[in-house]
Amino acid sequence: MLEVQQDTIETTYREAIRMAIREAMQNDERVFLMGEDVGNYGGCFAVSMGLLEEFGPERIRDTPLSESAFVGIGIGAALAGMKPIVEVMTVNFSLLALDQIMNNAATLLHMSGGLFNVPVVIRMATGGGKQLAAQHSHSLEGWYAHIPGLKVLTPATLEDARWMLAAALEDPDPVLIFENSTLYNKKGSISTEVNKVNIDKASVVRNGKDLSIITYGIGLSKSLEAAEILKNEGIDVEVIDLRILRPLDTETIIQSVKKTHRVLIVDEGWRSGGISAEISARINENAFYDLDTPVSRLCGEEVPMPYAKHLEHASVPQIETIVKQCKNILQHERV
């Protein structure tokens, strides 16, 4: 049998998102991008660089510094039959549009008795690690995962950065995409073949038998590196990339727990009332008797994100703290 050689290209997380936006706009004239500095400046994180020259100001639309206004415009455009991609610079700024997102985008299908879908996609940067301090660096995607009517995506890989957008644009209801700001420079290779990803399923990225790490976003690469360190010490770790925070893929989580019997949830967001607490509750509700140790969580420190580099580093989960927590779980100790 002949082996089929799959073509790949070298790219970055940032460029993968740009490719996804370009392809969406080429395939459907209803798709347009709007947000602060997405045009002439090329986007706060350079994601939309060059798209204004390619598609023009009607489809790459710079907006005033008013998140409530331009997110509301995106919702209105979606109701009118367009397919808007709304870029919000950082998740912190999205709070200025929370009324539009929660009270309009998420509720209109329900409040209209199923008559009006809102096919808007809202992208935003999230997380720390760039020394952007407390007003630009928090991980609030768990807050949005609390809201019925929204779908919450957290692409952690180049493949998901490239292909999740197409699936989000096909969804008839509002989709929020959270891009961790430290991933934009991530390099790697992806297949050139069209990949229609499932935005309802988590992914078992690494198989293991001793312990399950459940994570998303930047936590994935850190957990995979921690798993390699632990492998050298004879510890076999399974790593799950949640990919979607709403709806959570409970089935994949529980299958892993029943296999390894130990769990560590890694979440850069705050511990109290966070998505890690919801995951822990679901594990206890569905697989309590399969656990050999209590569910463990490693989350961001409950402080406003520091500016100082060493304090910012200390405030969120790191490879070394993931390794330490895993060892403590296997020793039946808590930290």
Helix (H) / strand (E) element for 191: namely strand 187-191
Tell me whether residue 67 is one of the annotated catalytic residues.
Answer: yes
**DSSP-derived 3-state class of residue 208:** coil
Q: Which of 15, 36, 87, 136 is catalytic?
A: 136
Residue in this structure with the two tokens 């001793």, named with its chain if needed: 210
Query: Residue 304, preceding bond cis, omega within 30 degrees?
Result: no
How many other C-beta atoms lie within 10 A of the C-beta of residue 319?
16
**Which pair of structure tokens corresponds to residue 105?**
């985008």
- Residues whose CB is less than 8 angstroms from the CB of residue 3 and which lie 6 or more positions away in sequence, other chains included: none
- Separation between Cα atoms, residue 103 and residue 172, nearest integer Å: 17
Query: Does the annotation mark 136 as catalytic?
Result: yes
How far apart are the C-alpha atoms of 158 and 195, rounded to whole Å? 12
Tokens 């430290």 -> residue: 182
The C-alpha atoms of residue 150 and residue 133 are separated, in whole angstroms, by: 28
Residue of 170, 165, 168 lying closest to 151 (CA atoms): 168
Catalytic residue among 15, 67, 268, 278: 67
Phi, psi of 21 (to 5 degrees): -65, -45
Residue 222: enclosing H or E segment and its boundaries?
Answer: helix 218-231
- Copy the structure tokens of residue 208: 């293991």
Positions marked catalytic: 67, 136
